[in-house]
Structure 1
Amino acid sequence: MTRPSNAGGTPARDGTPAPDVDVVCLGESMVTFLPTRPGRLADVPSFDRAIGGAESNVACTLARTGHTTRWISAVGADGFGDHLLTAVAGCGVDVSHVRRDPLRPTGVYFRTAGDRAGDTHEVAYYRAGSAASAMTAADLDPAALRSGRILHLSGITAALSASCLGLMRELTARRPGRPLLSFDVNYRPGLWREAAGARELLDLARGADLVFVGDDEARDAWGLHGARAISDALPEPALLVVKQGRRGATVFRRTTATGERAGAAPTTFVPSLNVDLVAATGAGDAFAAGFLSATLRGLPDRTRIRHGHLWAAAALTHPGDLATPPGRAHADRLADLDDAAWERLHLGPGWTEAGAGGHRADEEVRTP
C-alpha cells in the first residue's frame, strides 16, 4: 500500500508547511541476499531475497504499527529497484518521492547467516556507484523533506559519497522551521575511505535534535569511553540516546518540557531485556523506531527506552533485517511492567505473535 503524497501539507500561520506524515526517512536501501544455510559465502549454494537499509527499516517498522511514514531515496531503473519499491510500499510506506535513476544501479549485498558479531561473518556489498550514492540536495524536494513531524537520518548516508555527505551537512544545519531531526550515528568504518569520516559524524550529530549512538561505536569512532563522556562531547542535541548493548540504554535530556535548556542533563537508564538471540541485524534500527514511536506519542523517556528495547527484541529474535514489531497494545502492556517484572521478562522467537494472542503482561514470554 502506498499512501497518497501531499508533501508539505497545509501551511501553518508562519508559512511553514504542516506535517502530513509522522516520520520521513532518507537513506539508501539495498536488495539483500540471505543464505539458505550457514557457511562461507563461497560455499553457500543459494540465497533468499530480502531488503535492507537502516532508514527504510525504520520507516517500515513504524508503518507496521500504524504510524504514517515516507521514505525518500534513489534506486535504479532496474528490477531490484522495482522490488525495493514494492516491498517498502507493501509495509505501508509512502515511496512516491523515491527517484528512479536510469544511469545507476540499485545497490545489493550478500551476507552469511547468523550474528554479525561472529568471527566467520561475511558481508559483500555491491553499492559503489549506486543510484542512492549520487543523491544531492538539489535532487530532492524540500517540501517532502519537511513533510514529517520527524526527519530521520543515518550516518551511513554520509559515508556513501561526497555528494551524500554534502546532502547530510545541508539537512543537519540548524534552520528555522525544520522538523525534529533524528540522527542515528550508525558508524560503519568500512564505508569511510578516510579517517576524517568519524569527525564528520560527530559534526553531523551535533546538528541533530535527537541522536542515537552505541557506546561501542562512540569508542571506535571518537575514542570516547562511557555514556557521560559521550554526553559531554555532544552537548547540542536536546535528546541523546546512548545504547549500551546488553546492559541497557541511557537518555540524556537537555531540554525541559517548556523548551528551555536544562543545566546538567538529567539522565534516564533502562536495562535491556533478556532475549534468545537469533541475529543482531536490524536491532539498532528497530530500537530507533520504537523510541521514535513513543516520542511521537509524547511518552516519558523511561517508556521511550522500553519501547526501543521491545522493538529491538523483535529484531533480535528474528533472522532477517526487518522483523514484525509488537502490536501497540502489547508493547504498552510490557512497557508498563514494574522494574522487577521487566527484569524477569524473557523473550524468544515468535514472541510478538504469541503476545498478541493474549499472554499476560507479567509472565515470561518464550516460544520454542
Structure 2
Amino acid sequence: MTNVWRPAEGAVVCIGETMAALAPAPSESLETAEDLRVSVAGAESNVAMYLADLGVPVSWLSALGDDALGRRVRAAVAATGVDVSGVRCDPERPTGLLVKEPAGTRTRVHYYRSNSAASALGPDVLDDDRLVSASVVHLTGVTPALSPSCRSLVTQALTTAPSERPYAISFDVNHRPALWPPGTAAAALRDLADRADITFVGLDEAQELWNTGPEAADVRKLLPHPRLLVVKNGGHTATAFGDEGTWTVPALRTDVVEPVGAGDAFAAGFLAGLLQDGDIPRALRLGHITAASALKVTDDHGRLPDRDRIQRLLDLPAQEWETQG
C-alpha cells in the first residue's frame, strides 16, 4: 500500500450550483423531439452524490429558487443521502436550467443560469458550521465564472492559508468555455488550481487552457503546488502527482453513452479512496470505477457496481485490472 498525505477525518462539503436539466433521448434531435427528460446537473452535487453512494458523509451547499425545479433538484440530491439542509432557498431568483443537445458523439450544453439563485452565492457560504468539522471542501472552476460574488467565494477559500482552516480544499478545474469571457479563463483557473490541496484536471483540458505539453508531467510543471495533482487522460489513464511519488493507473474499458459527469464521478471516487486509506493507486482505481458508471448513462449520476464487485476490482493484480471492462 502506498501511503501519502491525506486530509484529516471528517465529512466532505461540496459547494456550487446545480441546475435542472432537460434533454431529448440520445438518438433524437433537440429540434424535433416531442419529449424532453428532466434530470439534475451540477458538478459539485454530482461529486456529493457519488461520495454518498460510496459511504462518505457529505453535504452540499448551494442556493435554489423557490420554484418547482428547485424543489425537484433538492429532492433528487437528497435522495442519494447527501445532506442538503444547508441549501438556501432564494425567493427572488430562479433555479438555473441547462438543455442538452445530442450532436453525434458529443453533447452540446446550453445554459440558462444568468441571475440564478446560485449566482448570488458569496464568501459568507464559508461561514457555514459544516465547514468547521469538514475533512475536505470541494469546489470547481465552474463557480468563479458565474458571478463576481461567486468568484470571491472561491478565491477567498483558496487564498486562505492551510494553517487557518481545518479542512483540505479539493478543486476540479472543470473549464466551461461558454461561461467565461474570451481570454479570461486561463490565468484565473491556473491561479486557483495551483492553490488547492488536491487538484483535478484533464490532460486535454490543460492543453486547451494553458498549451501544456502532451504528457501529464507537463501539467505538473505548470501546477507544482497542490499536495496531490490528478491529471486525467480521457479513457486512457489517470496520473497522480504528490511529494512522495507519481502513480499512473489505466482506465477501465467502458462503452460510452455520454461523457458528461464522468470527471465529477472520478473526483468523487478518488476522494473517497483517499479518505479511506490514503492508498493512491487504489484511489485512482476507485476514480475509474466511479467514472465508468457515469459514462454508461445519459444522466450525470449513474449506478455504481455493488460493493463486492468494487472490492474485487480494487483487489485485482495490476495486469488483471488492465483487462477489465
Please point out which of 126, 138, 146 is paired with 2:112. Answer: 126
Alignment correspondent of 2:123: 137
Alignment correspondent of 1:172: 158
**Percentage of matched positions with identical amino acids:** 43
**8 Å contact from structure 1 (residues 174, 207) kept in 2:** no
**8 Å contact from structure 1 (residues 248, 269) kept in 2:** yes
**8 Å contact from structure 1 (residues 158, 165) kept in 2:** yes
**8 Å contact from structure 1 (residues 75, 81) kept in 2:** yes
Please point out which of 125, 148, 170 is paired with 1:162. Answer: 148
Q: Please state if 1:294 is matched with 2:273.
A: yes
Q: Please state if 1:93 is matched with 2:82.
A: yes
CA distance in 2, matches of 1:286, 1:296: 15
- TM-score, normalising length: structure 2: 0.92
For 1:52, the aligned partner's letter is A
Structure 1 unaligned regions, length at least 5: 1-17, 257-265, 347-368
Kindly report the root-mean-square deviation, in angstroms, between the aligned alpha carbons of the 2 structures: 1.7
**8 Å contact from structure 1 (residues 38, 114) kept in 2:** no
Alignment correspondent of 1:221: 209
Shift of 1:209: 0.3
CA distance in 1, matches of 2:129, 2:55: 23
Bigger shift: residues 162-171 or 105-114: 105-114
Cα 1:309–1:114 shift into 2, 3 Å: farther
**8 Å contact from structure 2 (residues 270, 286) kept in 1:** yes
CA distance in 1, matches of 2:61, 2:68: 19
**8 Å contact from structure 1 (residues 61, 324) kept in 2:** no
Alignment correspondent of 1:76: 65
CA distance in 2, matches of 1:203, 1:274: 34
For 1:94, the aligned partner's letter is D
**Secondary structure of residue in 2 paired with 1:122:** strand
**8 Å contact from structure 2 (residues 26, 298) kept in 1:** no
Shift of 1:113: 4.0
Larger-Rg structure? 1
For 1:79, the aligned partner's letter is A
**8 Å contact from structure 2 (residues 142, 175) kept in 1:** yes
**8 Å contact from structure 1 (residues 251, 267) kept in 2:** yes
- Corresponding residue pairs, total: 315
Alignment correspondent of 1:333: 312
Shift of 1:110: 1.1
Q: Please state if 1:285 is matched with 2:264.
A: yes
**8 Å contact from structure 2 (residues 126, 157) kept in 1:** no
CA distance in 1, matches of 2:79, 2:34: 29
CA distance in 2, matches of 1:146, 1:48: 38
Shift of 1:324: 1.6
Alignment correspondent of 1:7: none
**TM-superposition CA deviations, 1:279-326 (whole Å, max 9, x none):** 111110110111011011024111111110111111111221111223
Shift of 1:234: 0.9
**TM-superposition CA deviations, 1:191-231 (whole Å, max 9, x none):** 10141222111111111100000001101111112211110
Please point out which of 42, 48, 52 is paired with 1:53. Answer: 42
For 1:97, the aligned partner's letter is G
Cα 1:37–1:289 shift into 2, 3 Å: closer
Q: Please state if 1:147 is matched with 2:133.
A: yes
Please point out which of 198, 207, 228 is paired with 1:239. Answer: 228
For 1:134, the aligned partner's letter is A
CA distance in 2, matches of 1:96, 1:233: 38
CA distance in 1, matches of 2:145, 2:238: 26
Bigger shift: residues 92-101 or 188-197: 188-197
Q: Please state if 1:322 is matched with 2:310.
A: no
**Secondary structure of residue in 1 paired with 2:322:** helix
Cα 1:37–1:275 shift into 2, 3 Å: closer
**TM-superposition CA deviations, 1:4-41 (whole Å, max 9, x none):** xxxxxxxxxxxxxx97x521000000011121352332
Structure 2 unaligned regions, length at least 5: 1-7
**Secondary structure of residue in 1 paired with 2:273:** helix
Alignment correspondent of 2:250: 271
CA distance in 2, matches of 1:66, 1:339: 25
**TM-superposition CA deviations, 1:235-274 (whole Å, max 9, x none):** 11100000011220111012x5xxxxxxxxx211111111
CA distance in 1, matches of 2:284, 2:42: 22
Alignment correspondent of 1:64: 53
Please point out which of 276, 299, 306 is paired with 2:285. Answer: 306
CA distance in 2, matches of 1:188, 1:99: 24
Alignment correspondent of 1:34: 23
Segments of 4+ moved more than 6 angstroms: none
Please point out which of 186, 194, 199 is paired with 1:211. Answer: 199
Q: Which has the higher contact order (CA 8 A, sep 6+)?
A: 2
CA distance in 2, matches of 1:145, 1:135: 16
**8 Å contact from structure 1 (residues 77, 100) kept in 2:** yes
